[in-house]
Structure 1
Amino acid sequence: MKMFKLHITPDSKILKQHLESQTQAEVLPWPKTQASTPKLLICYSGSDGPAHVKAVMTLGAFIQQHMATQVYLDLWDSLSVAREGSLAWHSRQIRECDFVLVVCSPGLSHSLTTRELIENPEEDESSWESSNSSAEAVIGLIGAEVCRAKARGQDLSKYMAAIFDYSEESDFPTELSLVSHYNLTSDFPLLFSHLHGVSLHRPGGYLKISHISEEGFTKLPAGAALQMAIRDAEIMKARRQAAVQN
């Protein structure tokens, strides 16, 4: 089996590059399935703490820098969110964006009945409390859109759900059971394939996308920052669970 390598650059020129191999006869042109850079809205819950929110923000930065995708996050557009209201802002972005990615976590799949966060002077709770206030409403809105699209026989590929390594499959809410699920960061190539309509497998070989593979993404500064943010969030999750048990 032959392996074709696709070298990814952090800007929009990615859509003009070619698949490289050892001989000219095996060079395959990049399939131009996107007329422009895809727009991706990332939704999440803030109830899992500021470390989880930071992991989501770092994920957005990585995708925007290294997957040739324009990312939209509420914390990156706080003035518009304040002016329009969170639900109205998310509703508009859902309509205008090409894709919607929901980062699932325990706080998104169910409402917390007790305060699980350990008192820590280094953490500012206000940043995640406000973002969590409308998280359930936003996911309900997305779930309704998915159900309508399903009932009409429409394509559901606009909607995706993902978890980080510290989350569980059970964290995917029922509302998102019909959409594609990804485990990040190991499924970065699949996420890229979804965003750009690129097949990773073809007769006699498969595509290995440089810089976003599981073993390669941490070589990038944004990838290393994402890995650290995920580890920090995992540590905080373990501390919260220990606090609840005690």
Structure 2
Amino acid sequence: MWLTVLLLVIVVQTGSQRQARSENLIETRAEIETLFTTEDCVWFPCYETQSCEHAVGIPENIRKREGNSSHCSGLQAVTIEWNPSPYGIEFVQGFRVDLVSLSGPSSVSECRQLVLRDGVRLEPQLIIGSTFCLGSDTLYGAVVYGFPVPPGREHHAQQIQFRTNSSYSNGRRANPSTWTPSRLSFTQDGHDVTVSFTAAADTDNINSYHVYHGRCPPGEPAPLSWQHTHMPHDGAGTVQVRLGSLEPGFNYSVVLLSDQEGAERREVTYFVKSEQTGEGQQLTLTLLLVLFALISTVVTVTASHLINNRKQNGKRGEAGFGDDSVSEPFTTQRVSNPRVFLLYPDTASPTLLNVVLHFATFLQAHCACQVVLDMWEELARGLEGRADWIVRQLAEAHFIVVMCWPGGGCPPGPGWGGFFSLGVSLVAEQLLQARISSSGLSRFIVTCFGQCREADVPGVLDLATKYKLMEALPRFFSHLHSLELLGPGLALHVDGISEETYPATPSGFALYEALRLAGEDGSMESATL
């Protein structure tokens, strides 16, 4: 009897504790309206103000919960819930929820922004949620950000995916099966891929199958969009789905599941191979032979002209920087289209910024370079974060070119800007590492325009190779392409790659005009072209 009374007391206490926890949870959700205001979504690329220097943790425990659909007019209410990260929680200004339909009959792209009210402090155990009215039988993806978005954290946010219930399947099956696609195989035919898997048994009460596929962008684990294929269950032992017009050289994510509510899904990744026919290989070989013959003819015809000009080109070089400004011999590994990362003082005058733009265009349009310029990648720099973007460019670039000009355009003059300062500091650090390892110094180049002196170049870049442009344009070009200007019995000649001939090209003439205007307004102290 005493044992029975003791068990009753324990059950009553446990029930009271569960009820108390439930009440606290409901109260916490009810407090959301008093903690936040809902506004239109505005992206917060944060890399300028002091408050942005604080890292804000990615929201945790992101999940989907069925909501109250009474106010959704025939749609299903789904609440996206999360907990604020304790990391940097005191600097959180709010949250942004992006929700988009990935496949299915409904097309949705919504964004909710919850802005923290003044004077409110968050706690890690707080459950925050935002409710959406969604269509049925549709696959959705949701991402939650905390803002201001700290540099380098934007691409770390994880997407959760979920499927809303089918409008006809609620309560249809009392005993849903646990069937999962098995014996999965892929067969590629050109740009088409056939996916095969073992069909479900008739006793599983499955009427159809859903196959989703999408191309994964480089460096991304999941596709940005999905394509949907619906296959009925016909009782055959194997199901085959043909995915057409896939792009070779990319990973494709493939998701398979049945039409049952809460069905088990299977996701795999397949790499689409490039298949070249015999006729295509023969055509490629013919083109290579023709190209080789053309290059040989050009070299033979122009050899005498190149030899006559080699002394003039040989004397032009790193004027004003001494004879030892080439810090390392050119690398023997030649790159057909080298990737060049341009750094310049970000507080330069409009005329000098015009020089930067036309110089980048000239390198890309006429000098066969892949140029990376921050003015061309404002969105990527904002999304990725200033520091992470620069670090990635320094790692991926074949050459890093720092642009300088007279009159304080480089430190310690007034042109020392925040973005440029960070870039030069990182370059200086890598220069020191390259010096210690005795390799890689040739990646770093300093170019100086106009009446430039050594005092106009940052002292931390002394180890870099220096060129005065446009006088040393032939040497600069040969450096970027790892080519020697002179060799036994021949000399390098490329049209439009000299101080006298570069204005004859369209992009070179635009650069010529930009340099002339900069010289006229005194930005380059009467630069000599």
* Normalised-by-shorter TM-score class: 0.7 to 0.9
From 487, 494, 516, the counterpart of 1:209: 494
State the SS of the aligned residue for 2:521: helix
Task: Indicate the residue corresponding to 2:170 in structure 1.
Answer: none
From 453, 477, 500, the counterpart of 1:168: 453
Residues 211, 220 of structure 1: 8 Å contact kept: yes
Residues 182, 191 of structure 1: 8 Å contact kept: yes
- Is 1:21 the counterpart of 2:293? The answer is no
- Is 1:234 the counterpart of 2:519? The answer is yes
Q: Which amino acid aligns with 1:237?
A: G
Task: Indicate the residue corresponding to 2:443 in structure 1.
Answer: 158
Task: Indicate the residue corresponding to 2:114 in structure 1.
Answer: none
- Is 1:180 the counterpart of 2:480? The answer is no
133 and 205 in structure 1: CA distance in 2 versus 1, 3 angstrom threshold: same
Q: Which amino acid aligns with 2:340?
A: L
Task: Indicate the residue corresponding to 1:224 in structure 2.
Answer: 509
Task: Indicate the residue corresponding to 2:392 in structure 1.
Answer: 92
State the SS of the aligned residue for 2:341: strand
Q: Give the greater-gyration-radius structure (CA).
A: 2
Residues 98, 158 of structure 1: 8 Å contact kept: yes
State the SS of the aligned residue for 1:45: coil
Query: Hey, what's the Cα distance between the residues in 2 that align with 1:35 and 1:164?
Result: 26
Whose helix fraction is larger, Structure 1's or Structure 2's?
1
Residues 519, 525 of structure 2: 8 Å contact kept: no
Task: Indicate the residue corresponding to 2:197 in structure 1.
Answer: none
Query: Hey, what's the Cα distance between the residues in 1 that align with 2:376 and 2:401?
Result: 16
State the SS of the aligned residue for 2:299: coil
1:95-140 alpha-carbon deviations (Å, 9 max, x no partner): 011110000132322142xxxxxxxxxxxxxxxx9x9332111101
Q: Which amino acid aligns with 1:21?
A: T
Residues 518, 524 of structure 2: 8 Å contact kept: no
Once the two structures are superposed, the pairs formed by residues 44-193 of structure 1 within 5 Å of their partners are 44-105=344-405, 106-112=408-414, 132-193=417-478
User: TM-score normalized by structure 2?
Assistant: 0.36
46 and 237 in structure 1: CA distance in 2 versus 1, 3 angstrom threshold: farther
Q: Which stretch shifts more, 165-174 or 210-219?
A: 165-174
Task: Indicate the residue corresponding to 2:479 in structure 1.
Answer: 194
1:178-215 alpha-carbon deviations (Å, 9 max, x no partner): 11101111211111111111100113442232111111
- Is 1:38 the counterpart of 2:309? The answer is no
Which protein has greater RCO, CA pairs closer than 8 Å, 6+ apart? Answer: 1
User: TM-score normalized by structure 1?
Assistant: 0.74
22 and 155 in structure 1: CA distance in 2 versus 1, 3 angstrom threshold: same
Residues 450, 525 of structure 2: 8 Å contact kept: no
Whose strand fraction is larger, Structure 1's or Structure 2's?
2
44 and 23 in structure 1: CA distance in 2 versus 1, 3 angstrom threshold: closer
Which residues of structure 2 form unaligned runs of 5+?
Answer: 1-290, 304-331
Query: Hey, what's the Cα distance between the residues in 2 that align with 1:143 and 1:23?
Result: 41
1:59-108 alpha-carbon deviations (Å, 9 max, x no partner): 01001011111000000001011112223211110001111000013232
Query: Hey, what's the Cα distance between the residues in 2 that align with 1:22 and 1:148?
Result: 44
Query: Hey, what's the Cα distance between the residues in 1 that align with 2:348 and 2:452?
Result: 11
Task: Indicate the residue corresponding to 2:34 in structure 1.
Answer: none
Deviation at 1:35, TM superposition (A): 5.0
Residues 451, 524 of structure 2: 8 Å contact kept: no
- How many residue pairs match? The answer is 204
State the SS of the aligned residue for 1:40: strand
Q: Which amino acid aligns with 2:519?
A: E
Deviation at 1:221, TM superposition (A): 1.4
76 and 109 in structure 1: CA distance in 2 versus 1, 3 angstrom threshold: same
Query: Hey, what's the Cα distance between the residues in 1 that align with 2:463 and 2:488?
Result: 29
Q: Which amino acid aligns with 2:410?
A: L
Residues 47, 108 of structure 1: 8 Å contact kept: no
238 and 79 in structure 1: CA distance in 2 versus 1, 3 angstrom threshold: closer
Runs of at least 4 residues of structure 1 off by over 6 A?
none
Task: Indicate the residue corresponding to 1:8 in structure 2.
Answer: none
Q: Which amino acid aligns with 2:469?
A: L
State the SS of the aligned residue for 1:186: coil
